[in-house]
Structures are given as C-alpha cells and as structure tokens.
Amino acid sequence: MTQFRRYAVVAVATVLLSAGLAGCTETANPVSSPSATAPAPVIGLTYIPNIQFAPFYIADHEGSFAPATLRHHGSAEGLFTALTAGDEDFVVAGGDEILQARAQGVDLVAVASYYGQYPARIIVPQGSPIASVADLRGHTVGLPGRYGESWFALLIALKEAGLTESDVTIMEIGYTQQAALTTGKVDAVVGFANSEVLTFEAAGFPVTVIDPQVPLVSICLATTHAYAEAHPDVVTKVIAGMKAGMTTAREDEATTLDIAAQYIPSFRGDTLETAKQVLPATTALFVGADGTVSPPFVAAEWTAMATAMASVGLVPAGTDAAAAYTNAYA
C-alpha cells in the first residue's frame, strides 16, 4: 500500500515553530549573486521511501542536485519541523499546508509545483447511493484524522456542496480506509488517486471514485523565504533537477524503476508490482491544466484556496496567499 500522502496528515498536528512572515510574491526577483559557500542542501521528502518520490531519486542519482542529501522524515516528525529547525532546506508539502503554516507564523514559500492536480478523492463502494459530495448527507465518512489534506479536502468539499460537518458523521480511522470501507464500518472514505484508489483496485473491491474538485493547491517544493533569498542559485538548481526527474519518470518507466530500486528497500515482489501501478498514477498528477509538468503557480488559484480555507476556518480571513508562493526561481 502506498504511503506518500500520509506524511501530510501526521505533520500538521505538530506544533509549528515561529519565524518571520516576510513574503516572496509571484513577481519577486531572486538575489542574483551565487551562494558558493552554501552547504549541500537537504531535501525533505517526508515519511518513507516510495516510488512517488521517484523524480527526486532520479535527480540525485544523475547528479542534478549535486551535492545534496535526500531525507525521509518517518511518520513521527512534523512536516515542517526539520525545515524550521534548520535541519532541512527544502520540503515537499501541499500548497494548502504551506498556507496554513504561514498563517501560524512559519516562514515558508512554495517555489515550484510538484503535483499539478489535487489528488484527494472520495471513495465509496460500487453501487452505493452516494454519487456526489452532496449525497454524503446522513452518511459516515472515514479519514485518517482532522488534519492534513484529506481533512482540508473534505471540509471544503462539504462546504461547496452546501453541507456542514453536522450533516455527516466523520470518523477518524487512521490509515485503515480499505478495511473500514470493505467491512461497512463507514459509507465513504477520503483517499488519494495514486494511493488508496489503487489499493481498492488491487484488492478486487469495486469502488466509485468521486473527485470533489476542491480549489486547493496540491503538492509543492517549498523552502523558507530566508533560504531562497540567501541561496537563489541552489533553489533554481534543485527545481531544475526535480523537473528533469519528473520528465524522466513520465517518459521512461524502466529507468525510473531501476533507479528507484536503489533508494527503496525491498523493492521487489509485491512492492515492485505496486510501484508499477503507482508510478503512472503519480506522474499523471504532475501535469497541470496547461499540459506541462510542474506548471507555474497561478495567482487566482492561490487566492481561491485562501478564500476556501478561510470559509471553513482553516486559515484566518484575509490570509495573504501571494506571500506563500513564487515563480521567480523556476
């Protein structure tokens, strides 16, 4: 079972360290002087090694980041803990998570998109009377917990369908979506297009998948504004390496799997077969509405996200979305 998106939901519960709120807007110009003395950057990939991080493995293997260190958090560490402590220089995180963390005082800026599409899906058994978000009224919905992207997507999807939390029964089930749905413990679960959806298919349990099409910005490469200003050339190089790896992952599955095997323990048997399914499902998410890999950030999308998150209390009203991202280094 793929685990990539699990990092987000466990991470937001961690107390975030305060830092400056200096913003980096979409039109900002990075400092042009090189950072020749900058130490090799540490790129936080969160959770555990997984094929969904293949572009970073490819870039590292081919020396595109050189030198750099890839670091997986494990499940107990907060999403931004190492970054704010100075133990990481980059992290892979949702645009919505970045916006929420900034609203709590963390110096973060998204410097490139990783997923061009939001992966959250509502999953119900095939034949269920639930055919849309509005049909969730009166039903039980299972999700890992009231945090992270599953939670953000559900809250906003309910709001946009004219529902509130009180119209459904929300059950925190950890990462047992498959067991909870197949045994009838819940009527629907929130999962991801390149994770839980695939596990149901692999188990032979027919499901209907509902895309809530929430106005949220998906997975990004992020750093701190302070780091980006001090080391613009490093930021540019890491973004370029990531994008090159994304292209390889989309176009050359055999090479991608061979390289990933050097980074993912026990990459054989069921793990390998699962990776062969997860890889194309993941690379499909890399492409944005404009048809490009790692598309540039769109101001209107960040503004719409800030409005939607504020409407359900995830960020304060008036949260400045423009300070949370930049296209200047890509």
Instruction: Tell me the domain boundaries of the chain.
Output: 6-117+217-324, 120-210
Q: Which of 9, 19, 3 is nearest to 224 (CA)?
A: 19
Put simply, whether the predicted model's pTM sits higher than 0.95 gets the answer: no
The answer as to CATH 3.40.190.10 being correct for domain 6-117+217-324 is: yes
89, two tokens: 């220089």
How far is 42 from 224, CA to CA, in rounded Å? Answer: 13
Q: How many CB atoms lie within 10 A of CB 71?
A: 18
User: Tell me, what DSSP letter sits at residue 321?
Assistant: G
Residue 223, φ and ψ in degrees, nearest 5: -145, -170
Quick: pLDDT tens for 280-314.
999 999 999 899 999 999 999 999 999 999 999 99
User: On the CB side of 108, how many CA atoms lie within 13 Å of its CA?
Assistant: 36
How far is 279 from 179, CA to CA, in rounded Å? Answer: 24
| Domain 120-210: which CATH number of 3.40.190.10, 3.40.50.300, 3.10.20.30, 3.30.1390.20 | 3.40.190.10
Spatial strand order of the sheet with 207-210 comes to 169-172, 140-143, 188-192, 120-125, 207-210
- pLDDT bucket at 183, cuts 50 / 70 / 90: very high
Quick: pLDDT tens for 218-236.
999 999 999 999 999 999 9
How far is 5 from 33, CA to CA, in rounded Å? Answer: 36
* Same fold: 6-117+217-324 with 120-210: yes
Mean pLDDT taken over the chain = 89
- pLDDT bucket at 23, cuts 50 / 70 / 90: very low
Residue 197 · residue 123 · CB < 8 Å: yes
Which residue, chain included where needed, has tokens 């466990």? 10
